Structure 1
Amino acid sequence: MTATSVPTRPSAAEPPGGAARPPAPARPRRRLGSRLGGWGFVAPALVIVLGLSIFPAVWALLLSLQEWDGFSAPEFVGGDNYAELVGDADLGAAVLHTVLYTALFVPAVVLVGLFLAVSLNRRIRFVGLYRTAIFVPFVASAAATGILTTYLFNPQFGLMNNVLRVLHLPQQGWLEDPNQSMVVIAIMSLWGQAAFTTVIYLAALQDVPGDVVEAARIDGAGPTQIFWNVVWPQLRPVTTFVAIYMTLQAVQLFDLVYTTTRGGPLNATETIVYYLWQTAFRELDFGYGSAIAYGLFFVTLIATVIVTVQQRRAAAREKETR
């Protein structure tokens, strides 16, 4: 009795006929190729971003340690430009004007944005049209906003004084009054920026769980109780973000001042960034202007870190109490 031999099936590594299969391409090479391809697509945008952010920041830091008018050879002065910031009375006045504008603008834009978002977070007719109309001022350019501000608040032919004249009320100086000009700037900034906070709050309101709101309503809570006890806790992180973002925008105010008052009257609307622009590009003191820019950067950075840390601590305490 002979044993039958079972034919063996050729393995996958060795094709029939004894011919050797060519080696498969190495996976590391494929990964390297895909990575290089990805970097090839990203590189142009990355170069532009670095060229418009990192390089100017480093150059401004070097300029802040020098005295340079843009034409003659720069002279290294070390920290003298930063020491001059402390005793600069004009810079101190610009800081006070910026603080006043921030105190007027930031609370108003947060409250108005929250009010508009709550009003538009309802099922009403033409709600899409209303939301679009609210966002239109945000996309308007600073030049258009400045022209509109001049038309509305001009003391001679402005619309606001014409309305006061019809109502037999005293005329106001508006943009030509040092006591009113910054208030007018804050009002027009509010008109343009409230749309942003409205959109942010509207998105946050739509993320509030509907079943929680419905449960509170079934338990007998009124609209005010539902808002403060259910909705508002969900909006606190968003409020922190909006407040920080709008504070940064307020500190960097320049375009609306440039297109309306040019820092007047009597330098009443001269903000930090406008003073920086005058120092660097009108007086050609690029070193001192760069020192002002870096001083503003460090102050805003420290304030942002403090507010963020305090907000996180408050959120942690609230979780512990629950």
Structure 2
Amino acid sequence: MALTFAATPRTHQQVAPRPRGRRGRAARRTLTGWAFAGPATLIVVGLSIFPAVWAFFISRTRWNGIAPARDVGWRNYERIATDPDAITAAKHTLLLTALFVPGSIVLGILIAVALNQKIRLIGFYRTCIFVPYVASAAATGILASFVFNPQFGAANEALRRLGLPAQQFLESPGQALLVICLIALWGEVGFTAVIYLAALQDIPRELIEAATVDGASRWRTFLHITLPELRPVTVFAAIWQTITAMQLFDLIYTTTRGGPMNSTQTIVYYIYELAFQTQRLGYGAAVAYLLFVVTMLLTVCVIWYSRRSGSEAF
């Protein structure tokens, strides 16, 4: 009996393509990312780091921007300690910062708590609070100049209707800096209110409900639960608003120009006068670098204290 075997067709073995190496893919992704981010990075470096380094070399010279610069070493920095105008400007800046930073934080928390309630037209109210922050600071200063004008301003008109004496506001050496702080608060409180509102909405509802079940009042709940949860945001807001107050320029430029009698001359406005009005570029750069060092030290101290106390924000 003959046995027949069916011949099965010979199949060719298919070789799978070799997978690409992980290093190659990672390198390609890195190159692609830098291809997009590289030009913007070069622009940022060119417009920020290079001028900052160049300004440091200028701060060690005596230069008016036209004649050749003359190297004076560290004498510009030594002169700051005995400059009465610089000391006065520093006092004004510290006073403005001491009033502005706590005021913006306290008002920001109060407004955020109010905007966190479930009431009608809450979206409209939140928008109204944030509009002054996104508005131009120069426009805010020009508008405030009309509002606080001693002759025909709306502020004095309101005081007259209330039977109160009119005030000089921005034309009074004793009131001008306080009015500047009030205008700055009106323009910046929307920022702190928004970040505190976001932080309030991020607090777990279980904590509030547990405190309520245990019989805690709203005030005790706010004091012992809400405020501790807001510590990281408070650290961030304090640093941000401190930098904002120490670098305040546009409001002063559009309202008082440092007057009356230099009562609103802050460090930044003093730097502007040195560099662009009296053409003392070297000394102005030295004052600017000293302001940078002070701001950096304050920021580092606040961050160090916040981390040590357990309320990290960075």
- Which residue of the partner structure matches residue 210 of structure 1? 205
Which residue of structure 2 aligns with residue 296 of structure 1?
A: 291
Question: Which residue is equivalent to 1:167?
Answer: 162
Distance 2:94 2:18 in 1: 71
Aligned partners of 1:23, 1:30: CA distance in 2, in Å?
14
Give distance in 2, aligned partners of 1:172 and 1:264: 16
CA separation of 1:163/1:27 partners in 2, compared to 1, >3 Å: closer, same or farther? closer
Deviation at 1:32, TM superposition (A): 3.7
1:234 maps onto 2:214 in alignment: no
User: Hey, what does 1:118 align to over in structure 2?
Assistant: 113
**Are 2:137 and 2:187, in contact at CA under 8 Å, matched by a contact in 1?**
no
- The one-letter code matched in structure 2 to 1:139 is V
The correspondence for 2:36, drawn from 41, 47, 52, is: 41
TM-score (norm 2): 0.92
Return the alpha-carbon distance in structure 2 between the equivalents of residues 34 and 307 of structure 1: 38
1:111 Cα deviation from its structure 2 partner:
0.6
Letter in 2 for 1:155: P
Residue 264 of structure 1 aligns with which residue?
Answer: 259
Distance 1:200 1:31, change over 3 A: closer
Contact residue 173 and residue 263 of structure 2 kept, 8 A = yes
SS at match of 1:278: helix
Equivalent position of 1:74 in the other structure: 69
Q: What is the CA distance between 1:162 and its match in structure 2?
A: 1.5
Distance 2:89 2:38 in 1: 40
* Deviation of the 1:42 alpha carbon: 1.0
Aligned partner of 1:141 in structure 2 is 136
- Give the equivalent residue in structure 2 for 1:151: 146
Structure 1, unmatched stretches of 5+, are: 15-21, 317-322
Indicate the RMSD between aligned Cα atoms, in angstroms: 2.3
Q: In structure 1, what is the equivalent of residue 95 of structure 2? A: 100
Q: Note closer, same or farther for the CA distance 1:218–1:27 as it changes in structure 2 (3 Å cut).
A: closer
Alpha-carbon offset, residue 25 of structure 1: 6.9
The unaligned stretches of length 5 or more in structure 2 are 1-6
Matched, 1:248 2:246: no
How many percent of aligned residue pairs carry the same amino acid? 51
Give the letter for the 1:249 counterpart.
T
- Give the 3 Å change call, closer, same or farther, for CA 167–35 of structure 1 in structure 2: closer
- Aligned to 2:180, which of 180, 185, 189? 185
For the Cα contact (< 8 Å) 2:169–2:179, is it kept in 1? yes
2:3 maps to what in 1? none
What's 2:282 paired with?
287
* Cα distance in 2, alignment partners of residues 125 and 264 from structure 1: 44
Indicate which of 42, 67, 86 corresponds to 1:91.
Answer: 86
Work out whether 1:311 is the aligned partner of 2:306.
Answer: yes
Q: In the aligned structure 2, how far is the partner of 1:151 from the partner of 1:243?
A: 30
Query: 1:320 — aligned with what?
Result: none
* Pairwise CA distance, 1:69: 0.9
* Equivalent residue in structure 2 for 1:56, among 37, 43, 51: 51
